Chains A and B, each alone.
Chain A
Amino acid sequence: MHLDEKPVLRVENLTMRYGKGCPRCGDSLEKNRCRVCKTVWALNDVSVELFPGEVLGIVGESGSGKSTLMKSLYFDLEPSSGRAYLRDYKDGEVSIWTVGAAERRSIKNNLMGMVYQNPVLGLRMDFSCASNIAEKIIAAGGRSAGQMTERAAELLEAMEILPSRMSEAPRNFSGGMQQRVQLSKALANNPSLLLLDEVTTGLDLSVQAKVLDLIRKIKAKYGVSILLVSHDLAVIRMLADRTIVMLDGKIIERGLTDQILEDPQHEYTQQLVHSLI
């Protein structure tokens, strides 16, 4: 048993605020917004650890900061304060938010993959699927066009997209296909951390099942660790080992997934779980 292994990702005291904040923010918050200075605390002192091979589920109210967490990790947003350490970047000793642009690009493209809630953010809709994937490989320093095409074909095939559609642009694809192209792109450089923001939302049930099955296979085959945001508790139950619950920018509860779902402690979590039909 090696429970002393290093976390793949460790986030400490992450805060993301829109506005300057004021001395009275602390006890003047209405949801995530200060009544006095109107500052929005999208994330408020969030700390998370993700261990090797683990899927950590993230659930919570709309606007609770789930996407903000994912985007901060992927460098799309600059957090107000906090630190994030990756096991595979300088042995987890330097926060990725302290380094310069070139270093960030390398971290993002070599160590992470992201699937955005909104596929428009993750894909260039008028470029071919192959170019979308190649873009990520080039960003990580890849140069051989032949190898890129081969890799793109392999990944798309693993995500069950026909090779014949590789040169098509995702613009005309269905939502489920776009998410699978995003997954292929996210996996292009064998990342150790995969960020999945509502990958199955809005897909019809049989397509959802396909994507879930693929995620499980990805986990088994590529050994990545996954942060999985979903408002669908069935998805969380099937995939997540542990789960955190967010409300108004804070983590209000964390635990084993089945324990969170069967014995929720916090009032919000109870409401979330008990409103299931």
Chain B
Amino acid sequence: MEILRVENLSKSFHLHNPVKDIKSCQNICFSLERGGFIGIVGLSGAGKSTVLKCIYRSYLPSGGSIRYDSRSFGWIDLAKADEREIIALRRYEIGYVSQFLNVMPRTTAKEHVKNALLEMGEDEKAAERESAEMLSYFRLPENLWDIYPNTFSGGERLRLNLAHAMVKRPRLMLLDEPTASLDNKTKLLVKDMLLRLKGKGTSMIGIFHDLEFMEGLCDKVHNMSEGSFLC
């Protein structure tokens, strides 16, 4: 059963000064099965992040449709959905993970994860317990839980980002090069975690540079070049 169907997705950026049209991706078509994992590879600038950002709606798609079978609203076209629907989907169903930190000032690692749950309306006690569980699950050392994460290493940041996204048990996870800049040992750890998430039924789309990493993880890999999927 499909959870996501992308049809003829195109994105171009219209810059005003100087006037310029940048075609970032064109006529992208693919579908994702429930519990499936799609990998996207391609050279730098091929348009990989653009596809993920259109799905998450950080970018406004220029054309095409992104139909998603949501728990909250049923089938919905993410390319055209109302902003408040997107906010709700991000809060309850769709996660986005990159290697970059996006935390509030004066928020500890644990609070950061906990806030994701409080935002969903969970009560304080349950949020406290689940965020601790999630941080242990992603093996963030316990002595880092009460620290502001600005000082975290790349691998620690990634584990925090994963915990923050996964604690909501999203149905759809978008991963933009989560393993960039990690050493091999940490990469294996992340791979193991992604496999376990997949085992729990989370549907995922991930951008990776590392073909070996995707082995046994992705059901299908799309190769992107100059804004299109190569077949």
Contacts and interface: CB of A to CB of B under 8 A. Distances in A.
Interface of A: 1, 3, 51, 208-210, 212-213, 216, 220, 238, 241-242, 255-256, 258-259, 262-263, 265-267, 270-271
Nearest to A270: B16
A267 B16 CA distance: 5
Contacts of B107: 213
Nearest to B105: A209
Contacts of B86: 256
A263 B60 contact: yes
Contacts of A209: 105-106
Given A213-B107, A220-B118, A263 B84 contact: no
A213 B107 CA distance: 8
A209 B15 CA distance: 33
B58 A258 contact: yes
Q: Give 6 closest A-B pairs by Cβ, nearest first.
A: A209-B105, A267-B16, A1-B72, A213-B106, A263-B59, A258-B58
Given A262-B53, A265-B60, A270-B15, 8 more contacts: A1-B72, A3-B82, A3-B88, A51-B84, A213-B105, A238-B105, A242-B83, A262-B58
A208 B106 CA distance: 11
B85 interface: yes
Nearest to B91: A241
Contacts of B106: 209-210, 212-213
A97 to B, nearest CB: 26
B105 A212 contact: yes
A121 B184 CA distance: 58
Contacts of A265: 14, 60
A267 B87 CA distance: 25
Nearest to A242: B83
Interface residues of A, dominant DSSP: helix
B104 A1 contact: no
A265 B13 CA distance: 8
Given A262-B53, A262-B59, A256 B105 contact: no
A216 B118 contact: no
A216 B106 CA distance: 11
A238 B102 CA distance: 8
A259 to B, nearest CB: 6
A260 to B, nearest CB: 10
15 contacts: A1-B72, A3-B82, A3-B84, A209-B105, A210-B106, A212-B104, A212-B105, A220-B118, A238-B105, A263-B53, A263-B60, A265-B14, A266-B16, A267-B17, A271-B17
A270 B59 CA distance: 14
B83 A255 contact: yes
A1 B90 CA distance: 13
Interface residues of B, number: 25
Interface of B: 13-17, 53, 57-60, 72-73, 82-88, 104-107, 115, 118
A3 B60 CA distance: 21
Contacts of A259: 57-60
Nearest to A208: B105
Residue from A212, A256, A270, A271 whose CB has the most chain B CB atoms within 10 Å: A256
Nearest to A211: B105
Nearest to A216: B104
B16 A256 contact: no
A271 B84 CA distance: 26
A124 to B, nearest CB: 30
Given A255-B83, A267-B17, A213 B104 contact: yes
Contact of A263 (B13, B17, B105): B13
A233 to B, nearest CB: 14
B84 A255 contact: no
Contacts of A220: 115, 118
Contacts of B84: 3, 51
A242 B57 CA distance: 13
A267 B18 CA distance: 10
A256 B104 contact: no
Residue from B84, B107, B115 whose CB has the most chain A CB atoms within 10 Å: B84
Contacts of A208: 105
Contacts of B87: 241-242, 256
Nearest to A269: B16
B83 A256 contact: yes
Contacts of B118: 220
A265 B107 CA distance: 32
B117 to A, nearest CB: 12
A256 B57 CA distance: 8
Contacts of A263: 13, 53, 58-60
Residue from B58, B85, B88, B107 whose CB has the most chain A CB atoms within 10 Å: B58
Contacts of B88: 1, 3
